[in-house]
């Protein structure tokens, strides 16, 4: 049966960026603003009730009490109103940052030290501040409590996710000497399809078609890369190519994957409690998933002894499994995978492990964040066998940097091998004819 591609032609679109307005840009009297903020937030922290009034009446009453007859402009009053509303219904000073789709990461280091990442670049945001460290701790608690988590002196570190998929990590004293530290890796709503990656220049259409073909042909694939390179985003988009009629089991430490298929079973690890009981590891979930009749197993990131169980699943009929791995390239990824298997105290010769990996993994996709902050798929590789007792990896697509612009933006080009890869026949046998289009001519140019 021939399969239809989901990779479409598209036109580039401009993405509008909405500036964030600082409190201090609105208020003429900065001292008054700080006083208002502190008093109102103290009232909220002290659980001063809304009573029978509506939220709007409560907020306006609070403003009148704090102002004590002092005049402010309508714009200033409106800004205070929104600020209080954010404290009650949202995440305080972070609301605007969380709603800005251009921001990919938020880092709160202290009340007046907030950084954001935009287009891969780290910037200090002067528009956002907290009253004090207690204010930061209040926002952290407000984020994690609905998720069934607590953060206090006995549990001073938490790693979880918000309902929109954004991942949060918080660490407080005594582990953090500086005070409460909050890091939020936002779920990228504007990178939800392969066309989004094409618009960003992350890969070419030929590469997209090849990756789509590999997923549909049930190749076992690893997406590797460094911290913040976009591994999870690529994994999420690759997962979108899986057919609707397949049963998908996802396994993660903190669920970040957002699959659109109907038959998805998300599993999440659990840390040990205060008494060191109740831990459920990634390895536990991988083993259990094999008893759940999966068509596909997607492991958010393989880090340890679960590597052997994942490889075992791939080698025993669970085709089309996908995972990510923290590594600086395809060779490094396979070496790390080998080390992870050895971590499980398996009495297996190294050469046997390499043969096991060679039989399990078909494709390794490497993602990098370049020096200018942009993310690209810098290589797509296939495992072709064992050569000189080492796993033999062949590059199919690659990105080659050729220089830098005056603004230090990376200049480069994508390249494709002229010969048909080893996986060509396996993909072709699944009725996926687009593979012919990709490798029909040595002189065919990249699109």
pLDDT value, residue 26:
63
Of the residues 127, 156, 187, the one at which a domain ends? 187
**CA-to-CA distance for 138 and 170, rounded, in angstroms?**
12
Look at 68-72, 160-164, 386-390, 409-413 and tell me which has the smallest mean pLDDT. 68-72
Q: Give domain status of residue 447, yes or no.
A: no
Percent of the chain with pLDDT over 70: 86
Domain count, the chain: 3
**CA-to-CA distance for 320 and 214, rounded, in angstroms?**
8
**CA-to-CA distance for 124 and 126, rounded, in angstroms?**
6
pLDDT value, residue 72:
76
Structural domain range at position 364: 194-438
238 contacts 247 by C-beta, under 8 angstroms: no
Q: Give domain status of residue 5, yes or no.
A: no
257 contacts 298 by C-beta, under 8 angstroms: yes
Q: Copy the structure tokens of residue 155.
A: 């549990």
**CA-to-CA distance for 135 and 332, rounded, in angstroms?**
43
Give Cβ neighbours of residue 343 (< 8 Å, ≥ 6 apart): 304, 305, 307
pLDDT value, residue 275:
64
Is the same domain home to 274 and 416?
yes
In angstroms, what is the C-alpha Rg of the chain?
A: 25
Confidence class for position 330, pLDDT limits 50, 70, 90: very high
pLDDT (mean) for 15-29:
52
pTM here?
0.76
**CA-to-CA distance for 18 and 101, rounded, in angstroms?**
9
Confidence class for position 402, pLDDT limits 50, 70, 90: very high
pLDDT value, residue 2:
56
pLDDT in tens, 249-266: 999 887 778 888 999 999
Please give the residue that has the higher pLDDT: either 314 or 14.
Answer: 314
Question: Taking the CB of residue 151, how many other CB atoms lie within 10 A of it?
Answer: 20
Is the same domain home to 345 and 264?
yes
Is the same domain home to 66 and 153?
no
pLDDT in tens, 335-350: 999 999 988 767 788 9
Is the same domain home to 405 and 272?
yes
Is the same domain home to 108 and 213?
no
Is the pLDDT assigned to residue 293 strictly greater than 80? Answer: yes
Q: Give domain status of residue 254, yes or no.
A: yes
Is the same domain home to 141 and 155?
yes
Residue 127's CATH number: 3.30.450.90
pLDDT value, residue 139:
92
Confidence class for position 443, pLDDT limits 50, 70, 90: very low
Q: 411: part of which helix (H) or strand (E)? A: strand 410-416
pLDDT in tens, 296-311: 999 989 988 899 889 9
pLDDT in tens, 54-96: 667 777 777 777 777 777 777 777 877 787 788 888 898 898 8
Is the same domain home to 70 and 100?
no
Is the pLDDT assigned to residue 442 strictly greater than 70? Answer: no
Is the pLDDT assigned to residue 271 strictly greater than 90? Answer: no
Please give the residue that has the higher pLDDT: either 255 or 172.
Answer: 172
Give Cβ neighbours of residue 69 (< 8 Å, ≥ 6 apart): none
pLDDT value, residue 101:
84
Is the same domain home to 432 and 354?
yes
User: In terms of DSSP H, where are the helices of 294-433?
Assistant: 306-315, 330-343, 350-360, 424-429
Is the same domain home to 160 and 50?
no
Of the residues 156, 187, 218, the one at which a domain ends? 187
pLDDT in tens, 208-219: 999 999 999 999
Place of tokens 């396979």: 334
User: 201-206 contacts: CB < 8 A, separation 24 or more?
Assistant: 201/374, 201/376, 202/230, 202/234, 202/375, 202/376, 202/377, 203/376, 203/377, 203/397, 203/414, 204/397, 204/414, 204/446, 204/447, 205/7, 205/447, 206/397, 206/416, 206/438, 206/446, 206/447
Is the same domain home to 42 and 128?
no
pLDDT value, residue 25:
62
Q: Give domain status of residue 2, yes or no.
A: no
Of the residues 89, 113, 130, the one at which a domain ends? 89
Is the same domain home to 344 and 425?
yes
Residue 202's CATH number: 3.40.50.300
At 90 the three-state DSSP class reads coil
Please give the residue that has the higher pLDDT: either 2 or 265.
Answer: 265
Is the pLDDT assigned to residue 176 strictly greater than 80? Answer: yes
Is the same domain home to 363 and 249?
yes
């Amino acid at each position: 049966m021939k399969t239809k591609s989901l990779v479409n032609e598209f036109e580039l679109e401009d993405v509008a960026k909405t500036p964030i307005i600082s409190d201090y840009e609105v208020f003429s009297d900065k001292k008054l603003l700080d006083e208002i903020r502190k008093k109102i937030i103290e009232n909220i922290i002290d659980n001063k009730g809304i009573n029978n009034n509506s939220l709007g009446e409560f907020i306006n009453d609070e403003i009148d009490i704090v102002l004590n007859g002092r005049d402010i402009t309508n714009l200033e009053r409106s800004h205070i109103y929104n600020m209080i509303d954010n404290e009650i219904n949202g995440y305080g000073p972070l609301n605007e940052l969380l709603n800005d789709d251009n921001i990919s990461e938020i880092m709160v280091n202290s009340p007046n030290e907030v950084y954001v990442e935009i287009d891969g670049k780290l910037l200090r945001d002067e528009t956002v501040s907290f009253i004090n460290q207690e204010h930061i701790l209040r926002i952290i608690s407000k984020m994690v409590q609905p998720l069934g988590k607590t953060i206090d002196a006995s549990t001073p570190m938490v790693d979880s996710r918000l309902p929109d998929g954004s991942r949060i990590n918080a660490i407080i004293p005594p582990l953090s000497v500086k005070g409460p530290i909050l890091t939020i890796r936002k779920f990228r709503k504007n990178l939800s399809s392969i066309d989004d990656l094409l618009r960003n220049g992350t890969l070419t259409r030929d590469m997209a078609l090849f990756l789509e073909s590999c997923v549909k042909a049930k190749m076992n694939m690893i997406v590797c890369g460094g911290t913040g390179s976009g591994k999870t985003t690529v994994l999420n988009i690759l997962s979108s190519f899986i057919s609707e009629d397949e049963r998908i089991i996802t396994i993660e430490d903190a669920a970040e994957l957002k699959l659109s298929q109907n038959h998805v079973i998300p599993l999440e690890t659990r840390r040990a409690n205060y008494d060191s009981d109740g831990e459920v590891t990634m390895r536990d979930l991988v083993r259990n998933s094999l008893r759940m009749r999966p068509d596909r197993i997607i492991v958010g990131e393989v880090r340890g002894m679960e590597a052997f169980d994942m490889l075992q699943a791939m080698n025993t009929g669970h085709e089309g499994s996908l995972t990510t791995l923290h590594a600086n390239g395809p060779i490094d990824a396979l070496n790390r995978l080998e080390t992870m298997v050895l971590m499980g105290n398996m009495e297996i010769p190294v050469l046997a492990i390499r043969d096991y990996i060679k039989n399990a993994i078909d494709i390794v996709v490497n993602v990098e964040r370049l020096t200018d902050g942009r993310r690209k798929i810098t290589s797509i590789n296939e495992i072709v066998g064992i050569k000189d007792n080492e796993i033999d990896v062949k590059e199919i697509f690659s990105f080659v940097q050729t220089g830098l612009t005056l603004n230090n933006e990376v200049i480069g080009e994508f390249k494709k091998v002229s010969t048909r890869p080893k996986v060509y026949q396996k993909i072709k046998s699944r009725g996926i004819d687009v593979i012919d289009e990709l490798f029909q001519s040595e002189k065919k140019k990249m699109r």
